[in-house]
Amino acid sequence: MEETKKKVMLSGIQPSGDLHLGNYLGAIKNWGARAEEFDCYYFMADMHTITVRQTPADLRRRTLTQLAQYIACGLDPEKNTLFIQSHIPAHAELGWVLNCYTMFGELSRMTQFKDKSAKHADNINGGLFTYPALMAADILLYQPDYVPVGNDQKQHVELTRNVAQRFNNIYGDVFKVPEPYIPKTGARIMSLNAPDSKMSKSIPEGCVFLMEKPEDIQRKFKRAITDSDTERCVRFDPENKPGVSNLMSIYAAVTGKSMEEIEAEFDGQGYGAFKPAVGEAVIECLRPIREETERILKDKAYLESVYKAGAEKASYVAYGHSLVCNPWGEILAQLDEKPGVQVVDIDLGDLAKYRGQIPILSGRRGDLYRTEDRT
């Protein structure tokens, strides 16, 4: 019986800072559950990180720490391909090619370029502007069916789809056009002290980091923004109670309880009881991740074996897909990333016709040299 080929899923996170609760609940926690259903590729996007100035030693440390955290969060290297982006030269190579098929207007409309330009006004570099083309290369190299993203990242997947379709319209079906995969739960965790903004390492007081000390986590939750309600204050109402609703979403994600169960649990209690309870639940959720990350980081040889094995498999996929094309770039046959043999019939009688249509051949200097048929 022929084995059914799994659909491919790919995603990555920049090692620009320590991973936080939003990364875990919004993305990584969901990734681990998909290995049985999908062929999964997850990477450390270190090439994207250098659009903002980095200290090399710190970037290397954060990259390895992020890899250890991926594993500690449940991404089994035996079931998922984990790799470092810069270890696969094909990312940069295809990134340049796709730069040439991405329109200036498309790049100028990307919201992250506008946001980062405002934050780093002294370093508005070309990479910051063209990074969506590299992001498209990150995705299209592996021909994924799905790219798990939050609602705020859908714009990048849409650009990738546009670039892939534009390229395919010119050269044939080269790239698979991926679909965004948005999880139904835990997709967007907001800042504790600015609940109208996504949790981000750039607002450290409103951000809970995976490796943070328990006492610091509890302190941040006790200081989390809520409101002045005193009766039935713990209720889910994102429009009128964004801070409380965010805390309830976090509590639901780490305990598995429904909003109705949470409201019943804290009925008649104030924020003085609710906020520490959320903090304690998060502490217990992150404790095994922190401890396992610390253990893995002590085993440098193991980490090296994981990222080298991941790079080998990722390179194998990225550099596969051998093609047979006619002189005008039309694809006659194509293989995938697995070893294989493709037989194609080529009409040698067409050679003279094709060569007659190539202008450079009409410039031969027969008075200076001659060609010989030595067959």
Which neighbouring-strand residues pair with 38? 7
**Measuring CA to CA, how many Å separate 353 from each of 286, 347, 348, 349, 361?**
68, 11, 10, 8, 12
| Separation between Cα atoms, residue 195 and residue 183, nearest integer Å | 20
The DSSP secondary-structure symbol of 190 reads: B
Among 6, 7, 176, 201, the active-site one is 201
Q: Kindly list the distances between the CA atom of residue 323 and the CA atoms of 88, 172, 336, in Å, as whole numbers in the listed order.
A: 21, 12, 9
- In the residue annotation, 298 being an active-site residue is answered as no
Beta pairing class for 80-84 and 323-325: unpaired
Tokens of 76: 């089994």
Set 198, 220, 241, 275: catalytic member: 198
Is 198 in the active site?
yes
Pull the structure tokens for residue 321: 């897909």
d(CA 66, CA 307): 11
CA distance 318 to 137: 10
- Catalytic positions are 116, 198, 201
